[in-house]
Amino acid sequence: MIKRIHLLALFAWLAVPVAGFAHHSHASLNMDDVRTYKGVVVKYGWTMPHVYLKVKGPDDKGRIVEYTIEMEHPPAMAAKGWSKTSWKPGDRIIWYGAHDKDSDRHYTGLQWAETGDGTRVGASTDVAAEITPSTDFTGLWKRDDPGGFKPHYKPPVGWPLSKLGQAQVDNFSEDQNPMVTCGNPGPPKSMLIPYPVVFTRPDANTLVMERELMEELRVVHFDRDHEVGAPSKMGHSVGWFEGDTLVVETTNFIADEWGIHTGISSSEQKHLVERFTMSDGGLHLAAEITVTDPVYLAEPVTFSHHWRKLADREIIQAPCTMEAAQLYLEAGYEAARK
């Protein structure tokens, strides 16, 4: 029932190294050991949270082994010219990427790949895209922190936590990330993930926030008397304007693993107030978030982040699979982290 915006072009911001948008930090890759490999595709996964390839080919000792190549999420790979039909079992492939720090572990990243006839796949993302400024908060936005995007691989430092929240942070492990089991948290954590978000206005009383690669929608009701549904990760959001600022208040949550921030979960008592303010003629968006949750926080916390406007294009969704979500285990990430 909710009409999605149809957007016009791919965007260049996705042209970043593979570690940039991972749900873990790819600590096992040796960036000083970048090699060229060749082989035959065994499996190709166009999945969340990562696109991946399984390839049979010779290792540096001439033995035929099965390599795992882990890449970025589907929109990032689409911006580089990939699609869900780029490869199929039996295709010959040559690729270039960093090897795992363990020379006997057959796991790599990828900077480029070529088909058997020498056609380069994903060699460039120089696709021009016209960016239309927003006048009413609608459109496609992406995280754009001052000084560059800063991924949240660890819990925030210095937050006032309850005993339960502090215990959770003290025992933090990236393996607890809900994305490892194809889970997506609700806000505010979902608003910090670097996937683009599109704001649409299906009618005068409704604003919809849709995250790329996350099927759950956030619906903001400008009618304060709108019926409250069952509690959920997304909660019940009511919005209003204070001058040029869009204010969104959200309640009616369920307990949510990492629902506040990386490594910090949330309870049914979570309460959010978000303030969105556009600047630079509708090309940038500042978000200030105040979260209250007496179960995990000793007092309310206010933090902020920034978004920039992207060229309008169609939102990309792709299924998450456990195999793709847990590829980092094949990379010996546990050993590399320790």
Q: What is the pLDDT of residue 10?
A: 31
**pLDDT class for 319, splitting at 50, 70, 90?**
low
> For 149-203, what is each residue's pLDDT tens digit?
677 789 999 999 999 999 999 999 888 888 778 788 999 999 988 778 999 999 9
Residue 195 is predicted with a pLDDT of 79
Among the listed residues 15, 5, 67, the one whose alpha carbon sits nearest the alpha carbon of residue 36: 67
CATH superfamily for 12-126+323-337 is Nucleic acid-binding proteins (2.40.50.140)
pLDDT of 330:
57
For residue 266, what pLDDT is reported? 98
Query: Which residues does 218 contact at the CB level (< 8 Å), separation at least 6?
Result: 187, 190, 208, 209, 210, 234, 237
- What pLDDT was estimated at residue 196? 84
Predicted confidence at residue 110, as pLDDT, reads 87
Whether 125 and 12 have beta carbons less than 8 Å apart is answered as: yes
At the top level of CATH, the class of 139-309 is mainly beta
- pLDDT for res 193: 83
Query: For residue 241, what are its two tokens?
Result: 């304007």
pTM to 2 decimal places: 0.67
Q: Mean of the per-residue pLDDT values for the chain?
A: 83
pLDDT digits (tens, 9 = 90+) for 76-127: 888 888 888 899 999 999 898 899 998 888 999 888 888 877 778 865 444 4
Distance CA(209)–CA(236), nearest Å, equals 13
- As annotated, the residues of the chain forming the CATH 2.40.50.140 domain(s) are 12-126+323-337
pLDDT band at 134 (very low <50, low <70, confident <90, very high): very high
pLDDT attached to residue 235: 98
Q: What is the separation, in whole angstroms, between the first and last Cα of the chain?
A: 48
CATH 2.40.128 placement within the chain: 139-309
